[in-house]
Amino acid sequence: MSRSVNRLAVGLAALVLVTGCGDKGESFTTVEDLAAAIGCDGAPIEAEPQFFTESGFSCTVKFGDVNAYWFADTDALRTWEQVGLDAMAAWSGESEWPRLIGDRWAIEGSRTNLEFLRLSVGGVVRDD
Domain extent listing, the chain: 23-126
Q: Look up the pTM and report it.
A: 0.75
pLDDT above 50: residue 100:
yes
- 3 state DSSP class of 18: helix
More confident residue, 25 or 70: 70
SS3 46: strand
The whole-number pLDDT of residue 18 equals: 34
> For the chain, what is the mean pLDDT?
77
Average pLDDT rounded to a whole number, residues 49-63 = 85
What number of CA atoms fall less than 13 Å from residue 114's CA on the CB side? 20
Inter-residue contact 25 to 103 (CB < 8 Å):
yes
